[in-house]
Structure 1
Amino acid sequence: MTDDLPADPPPEPAPRSGGPDELRALAAPRRLSVDDHMFTAPALPGTFRLQLFTAPGTRPVAVATQIAGAEGMSLMNGVERFTGEVWERHCPDQDLPPVWVERQLEPQGALKETRFRRVVFAGADRYRPRGPRWSVITPEELQDLVGATVATDRGVGYVPRAVEPEPRLVFTECAVVRLARPRPFRESACMPAGVPWWQRWTRQVLPRRGDARSCCWYHGGDWHAVNAMALELLERASAQSVEPDNMEEFATAHAAAAAATRWETEALASLFSVANAIQPASQTGYINGQHRAQAMLEAGVQRTVVLHHVDQT
């Protein structure tokens, strides 16, 4: 009779993906098996330092370090393809992609902080991870995860890109309704691809105000208020001959004087950052900024600020 046998204990819940329990489950002593100071992938215009930590029977941990705005495609924009390339090239027998940690080195004085960030993917086909989500991982947590020393700098093997004639940067006012149709990615729950023409014109007549939501950063505040500050700031900067490279700092000071919220300050600074501004492109629609453009179109914002690169002649 099996009725007298003790019941099997209930299965323990799986560690929450990306949480501290999962990090502890993944932690193990590893060794640095790859330290490529100029890792790049075919057809991807971006470089970074790759530190890959491995040990038998453990999942590899990849730490990618890049200088923001100086190495082509950013770690964030290329994370799926960069991770897939490292997976295929250095650990092709693994069923899952390497644990991915990235560090974007921001310029001194930038509003954004330089931090390690763990990327957790929603799923992966062979060498094709998808659905990335970012969270901060502390140096102590990373040390425990890897079980070895992780370099925090770009490394002596970094080779700066060849100096090319730099285009002239120009911030200009732009009608939001005339921006290309956004095709945002990674925020499918709250940003289905694109905004049809009828909806963008409807929102111009019936704008949404005060519609902050918690679904993502892009919907987290009032773009009407931010762009009102941006247009005023653009006019003041022109009168004071502020250089484009100094506009982000100028915007941050303006936001502080206006007692703006933290979100409004970040949003305003993003519009005047030469690395993160909305940049239309004739061929692809956007070099940067399509998530912000989508959020503005949904809210019915009429005018914003964009960045153009004008070739020197």
Structure 2
Amino acid sequence: MFTAPTLPGTLRLQLFTAPGARPVAVATQIAGEEGMSLMNGVERFAGAVWERHCPDQDLPPVWVEQQLEAQAQGVPRESRIRHVVFAGVDRYRPHGPRWSVITHEQLQDLVGATVATDRGTGYVPRAVEPEPRLVFAQFAVARLARPKPFREPACMPAGVPWWRRWTRQVRPDRGAARTCCWYHGGDWHAVNAMALELLERARAQSVEPDGMEEFAIAHADAAVASQWHTEALASLFSVSNAIQPASQTGYINGQHRAQAMLEAGVRRTVVLHYVDEP
């Protein structure tokens, strides 16, 4: 089982080497059982393998991800294999990943050897921890951590510094929607006004967190909101895609939306917290 002190997940690593050839790393992980997924953490996982096992190489190992679905009763795990190509690298920090699906036969041709398709006999599942309680709550946008948008267009080159976010709080930007990317494609002021109203209605009706996204879509439909505004509102109440602040990393989800809101001078939004049950 491969992991490192700074990695938020585990994986099985098969590393194939040959004299004069670039190493090939095959990372295998069970979806939903080992922390951060291979796709979400690809730069960090590949960088950690590069630093630990191939520190003298100028490039990271050729990276292949094998994501296994969680096993149902009596049903073998399904495997999705993707070859990852990085657009560029800094020392032990690849960036700009692009994925392409390959077959198991293509994978074996790539490495020139037999590749195991399972998680391995040494795999020890994580101990079952109590499920945290999901809570949607209001949050001051100016208090969000400085975003560091990744894999996105040049319209989000860096986070919003403190002086600009406070200036936008005093003089909000309510300009027209832009076509550069989805995040700048509508009015976050209007979306968050709906979100705060929706949050109060949901509490009055005791809507469970898992039902909030559907509740939000119904609310947007009743308000005859545009497709973009409906999608944006629903994203704030999706348990898998809501803005989630994190104490150590800044964000679990939501950096791009946070940056767009900070640029616009939105004052309050809705975030998702995980509250540990006593």
What TM-score, normalized by structure 1, do the two folds share? 0.64
1:122 paired residue number: 88
- Per the alignment, residue 109 of structure 2 pairs with 147
What is the correspondence of 1:157-306 to structure 2 with a 5 Å cutoff?
158-184=123-149, 189-204=154-169, 205-214=171-180, 218-219=183-184, 221-248=186-213, 250-251=215-216, 261=227, 265=231, 267-282=232-247, 285-306=250-271
Q: SS at the partner of 1:147?
A: helix
Aligned mates of 1:260, 1:105 — CA distance in 2: 37
- Shift of residue 260, structure 1, vs aligned partner: 5.0
Quick one: which amino acid aligns to residue 309 of structure 1?
Y
Aligned-pair distance for 1:97? 0.6
Matching residue's letter, 2:236: L
Give the paired residue count.
265
1:304: Cα distance to partner?
1.6
CA offset at residue 176 of structure 1?
Answer: 1.6
Counterpart of 1:39, as a letter, is F
CA deviation after TM superposition for structure 1 residue 173, in Å: 2.0
Verify the 8 A CA contact 1:97 1:124 in the aligned structure 2: no
Q: CA contact under 8 A between 1:169 and 1:244: conserved in structure 2?
A: yes
Asked if structure 2 preserves the Cα contact closer than 8 Å seen for 1:220 and 1:263, the reply is: no
Q: Which amino acid aligns with 1:173?
A: Q
Structure 1 pair 159/177, CA: closer, same or farther in 2 (3 Å)? same
Cα 1:92–1:199, aligned 2, differ >3 Å: closer, same or farther?
closer
Map Cα deviations across residues 16-46 of structure 1 (whole Å, 9 max, x no partner). xxxxxxxxxxxxxxxxxxxxxx321234231
- Alignment root-mean-square deviation, CA: 4.1
Local SS of the residue matching 2:8: coil
Evaluate the alpha carbon distance shift between residue 271 and residue 153 of structure 1 in structure 2; reply closer, same or farther with a 3 A threshold.
farther
Q: Percent identity among equivalent residues?
A: 73
Q: 2-side partners of 1:155 and 1:269: how far apart?
A: 39
Q: Which runs of 5+ in 2 are unaligned?
A: 71-79
Cα 1:255–1:152 change in 2 (3 A) is: farther
Using the TM superposition, give the Cα deviation of residue 297 of structure 1 relative to its aligned residue in structure 2, in angstroms.
Answer: 0.6
Contact (CA 8 Å) 1:175, 1:302: kept in 2 or not?
A: yes
Alignment of 1:91-110 (within 5 A): 91-92=54-55, 94-102=57-65
Identify if the C-alpha distance between structure 1 residues 42 and 190 changes in structure 2 by more than 3 Å, giving closer, same or farther.
same
Change (3 A) 1:42 1:302: closer
Q: Does 1:48 align with 2:11?
A: yes
How far is the alpha carbon of 1:200 from its aligned partner? 2.1
Where does residue 74 of structure 2 map in the other structure?
none
CA contact (8 A) 1:195 1:298 kept: yes
Shift of 1:82: 1.6
Could you tell me how far apart the structure 1 residues matched to 2:123 and 2:244 are?
A: 28
The worse-fitting range, judged by mean Cα deviation, of 38-47 and 57-66 is: 57-66
